[in-house]
């Protein structure tokens, strides 16, 4: 603070000149404070010889210079900070290795900003991968900044790609750069399980050293999670404890096999499994993206749990991006009951603008995977991807269009639409008219195939409903029961 005060309000011209006056008088005070910091870190320094004046010796040559020694100094100062935070005796199990053996350190579970203390107990001061917001943390922010961190802006996908490239470049040097310490969960949890590991630390395909973090006080004042106590509250409550018990366990280096080197997802999953076994806790496939979907669900007045869908698993199996998932959540929120976060058969029928029919019941049961008579958001996504979208193709749409287009004119009139939908699904004239106006974008009282196709893209459920109707119609016709049972 004194250094900042002495440099404040200086013009650009004065910045190129030596500091004079009252600003220069603060120099010995600043030096005294710095010596006090070193003293608290356990350093007792003796000065030999006589210091020359700036006229006698304008240049000071220092030797030998060791960046490692300076790193050790910072690490000792960091441990002193841990001491004042109440972590008087951090228990370290296992043997930390250097960056030439394991360029990456992966730490879990990540539950609080205090996890940053682990950097002071590594073999050397590692570089960190951190949220940009962490640079603003008191004391810790400055220490994190010194480690030449890789800052991640989680809302910017390009930032992640750039970070991954830089991380790979550093890791491949195998010893030239300090180790990179990563919390692969990507967000804070309550330590009850390990959530999905991000692929960043495992993308380079180099050895990693897992580090397990355990807070062992009976009273948990550390957990800093979504909708939990804020950072200041966690810090204050932790400082109020006489002693904070922390255990860091450095597990043996994990060397990936060839398959894991080629598949970061598999590599991350296997390391997570190894750490979960050591910690004695389960693991799930939830990620930070699930938290973002939970926040979106809350904005839509849906239960928070509506957004818990194990996004990463669905993304890898169905190929749905986060942006697409966001849009589907908006769509789901417009259909579902706000208090329950699920879709009933009646709501599904109202959304499609059709009455409840055997064809709709059959389609609804395909979406309802667990037989609960409702569709949750996860079931809705899977239903769209595996049931409705595959049949929403040109062949199906052309077949449906030809069914409505009496006389092969190239367009559908409202009367033709009413005749088919009334007979097939029991829709009344008002509902058909409303649907006709939604599809008829050009407002010329006829639906072209392009308009028909564009509307089908927004509601792929119609294609599956049509196919289900056709299949049931064939079954009943074969059995001689007539089409009336479908109405």
Report in angstroms the alpha-carbon separations of 292 from 32, 297, 397, 439.
48, 9, 35, 33
Q: What is the pTM of this model?
A: 0.64
Instruction: Find the length of the chain.
Output: 487
Instruction: Establish if 29 belongs to a structural domain.
Output: no
Task: Note whether 129 and 147 are same-domain residues.
Answer: yes
**Domain CATH for 452:** 1.10.238.10
Task: Note whether 212 and 334 are same-domain residues.
Answer: no
Of the candidates 257, 279, 301, which is a domain's last residue? 279
Which H or E run contains 2? helix 2-7
Angle between helices 322-335 and 288-299 (to 10 degrees): 30
Instruction: Establish if 70 belongs to a structural domain.
Output: no
Instruction: Establish if 476 belongs to a structural domain.
Output: no
Provide CB contacts within 8 A for 311, sequence distance 6+. Answer: 286, 287, 289, 290, 293, 322, 325
Q: Position of tokens 């010596």?
A: 35
Q: Report the b/e string of 222-236 with b at 16+ CB within 10 A.
A: bbbeeeeeeeeebbe
Give CA angle at 437 (432, 443), nearest 5°: 145
Task: Note whether 110 and 153 are same-domain residues.
Answer: yes
Task: Read off φ and ψ for residue 131, nearest 5 degrees.
Answer: -65, 150
Task: Note whether 332 and 233 are same-domain residues.
Answer: no
State how far the Cα of 274 lies from the Cα of 113, in Å rounded to an integer. 24
Q: Provide the total of helices (H) and of strands (E) in the chain, helices listed first.
A: 21, 9
* Domain that residue 427 falls in: 394-459
Q: Quote the number of domains for the chain.
A: 3
Six token digits for residue 70: 């300076």
DSSP string, 139-204: THHHHHHHT--EEE-TT-HHHHHHHHHHHHHHHTTSSSSPPEEE-TT-S---SSSB-PPPSGGGTT
Instruction: Establish if 72 belongs to a structural domain.
Output: no
Beta pairing class for 246-250 and 208-215: antiparallel
Inter-residue contact 200 to 184 (CB < 8 Å): yes
Of the candidates 218, 250, 279, which is a domain's last residue? 279
Task: Note whether 345 and 416 are same-domain residues.
Answer: no
Spatial CA neighbour of 128 closest among 174, 163, 80, 179: 179
Q: What is the pLDDT along the chain (487 residues), one digit of tens a residue?
A: 545 555 566 666 665 455 556 665 665 665 566 556 656 655 556 666 666 665 565 555 554 444 555 566 666 777 777 787 788 888 899 999 988 899 999 999 998 888 888 878 887 778 877 777 777 776 666 666 666 777 777 667 677 788 888 888 888 887 778 888 889 888 888 888 898 888 888 988 999 999 999 998 888 888 888 778 888 888 888 888 888 888 999 999 999 999 999 999 899 999 999 999 999 999 888 887 888 888 888 888 888 777 777 777 777 777 888 888 888 888 888 888 666 788 888 888 888 888 888 888 888 888 888 888 888 888 888 888 888 777 777 887 888 888 788 778 888 888 888 887 777 777 788 888 888 888 888 888 888 888 888 888 888 887 777 777 677 666 555 555 544 444 4
Which H or E run contains 361? helix 358-367
Task: Note whether 218 and 305 are same-domain residues.
Answer: no
Of the candidates 262, 279, 296, which is a domain's last residue? 279
Cα dihedral 297, 301, 302, 303 sign? positive
| CA torsion, ordered 228, 229, 232, 234, to nearest 10 deg | -100
Environment class of 395 (CB within 10 Å of its CB; exposed 0-12, middle 13-18, buried 19+): exposed
Q: Position of tokens 């910045």?
A: 15
* 347 conformational bin, left if phi > 0, alpha if psi -120 to 50, beta if neither: alpha
Task: Note whether 200 and 329 are same-domain residues.
Answer: no
Task: Note whether 259 and 300 are same-domain residues.
Answer: no
Instruction: Establish if 378 belongs to a structural domain.
Output: no
Task: Note whether 171 and 213 are same-domain residues.
Answer: yes
Q: How many CB atoms lie within 10 A of CB 338?
A: 10
Instruction: Establish if 48 belongs to a structural domain.
Output: no
Instruction: Establish if 78 belongs to a structural domain.
Output: no
Provide CB contacts within 8 A for 69, sequence distance 6+. Answer: none
Whether a cis peptide bond, with omega within 30° of 0, leads into 64 is: yes
Task: Note whether 269 and 309 are same-domain residues.
Answer: no
Task: Note whether 173 and 262 are same-domain residues.
Answer: yes
Inter-residue contact 380 to 293 (CB < 8 Å): no
Task: Note whether 315 and 275 are same-domain residues.
Answer: no
Instruction: Establish if 40 belongs to a structural domain.
Output: no
């Amino acid at each position: 603070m004194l250094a900042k005060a002495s440099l404040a309000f200086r013009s650009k011209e004065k910045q190129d000149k030596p500091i004079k006056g009252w600003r220069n008088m603060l120099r010995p005070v600043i030096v005294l404070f710095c010596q006090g910091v070193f003293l608290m870190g356990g350093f007792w320094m003796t000065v030999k010889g006589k210091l020359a004046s700036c006229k006698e010796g304008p240049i000071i040559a220092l030797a030998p210079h060791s960046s490692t020694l300076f790193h050790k100094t910072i690490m000792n100062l960091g441990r002193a900070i841990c001491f004042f935070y109440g972590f008087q005796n951090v228990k370290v199990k296992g043997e930390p290795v250097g960056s030439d053996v394991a360029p990456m350190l992966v730490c879990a579970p990540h539950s609080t900003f205090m996890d940053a203390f682990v950097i002071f107990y590594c073999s050397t001061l590692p570089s960190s991968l951190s949220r940009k917001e962490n640079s603003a943390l008191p004391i810790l922010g400055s220490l994190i900044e010194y480690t030449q961190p890789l800052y991640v802006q989680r809302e910017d996908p390009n930032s992640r790609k750039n970070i991954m490239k830089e991380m790979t470049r550093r890791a491949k040097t195998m010893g030239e750069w300090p180790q990179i310490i990563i919390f692969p969960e990507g967000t804070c949890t309550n330590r009850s399980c390990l959530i999905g590991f991000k692929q960043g630390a495992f993308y380079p395909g180099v050895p990693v050293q897992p580090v397990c973090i355990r807070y062992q006080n009976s009273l948990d004042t550390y957990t800093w999670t979504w909708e939990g106590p804020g950072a200041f509250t966690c810090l204050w409550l932790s400082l109020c404890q006489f002693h904070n018990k922390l255990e860091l366990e450095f597990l043996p280096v994990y060397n990936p096999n060839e398959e894991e080197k080629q598949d970061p997802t598999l590599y991350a999953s296997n390391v997570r499994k190894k750490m979960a076994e050591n910690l004695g806790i389960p693991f799930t496939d939830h990620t930070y993206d699930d938290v973002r979907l939970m926040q979106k669900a809350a904005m839509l007045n849906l239960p928070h749990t509506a957004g818990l869908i194990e996004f990463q698993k669905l993304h890898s199996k169905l190929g749905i991006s986060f942006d697409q998932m966001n849009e589907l959540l908006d769509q789901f929120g417009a259909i579902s009951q706000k208090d329950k976060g699920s879709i009933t058969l009646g709501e599904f029928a109202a959304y499609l603008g059709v009455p409840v029919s055997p064809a709709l019941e059959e389609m609804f049961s395909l979406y309802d995977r667990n037989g609960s008579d409702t569709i949750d958001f996860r079931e809705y996504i899977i239903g769209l991807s595996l049931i409705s979208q595959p049949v929403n193709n040109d062949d199906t749409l052309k077949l449906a269009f030809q069914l409505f287009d009496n006389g092969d004119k190239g367009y559908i009139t409202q009367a033709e639409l009413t005749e088919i939908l009334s007979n097939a699904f029991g829709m009344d004239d008002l509902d058909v008219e409303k649907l006709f106006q939604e599809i008829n974008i050009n407002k010329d009282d006829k639906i072209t195939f392009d308009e028909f196709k564009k509307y089908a893209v927004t509601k792929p459920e119609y294609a599956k409903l049509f196919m289900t109707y056709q299949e049931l119609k064939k079954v009943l016709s074969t059995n001689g029961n007539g089409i009336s049972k479908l109405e």
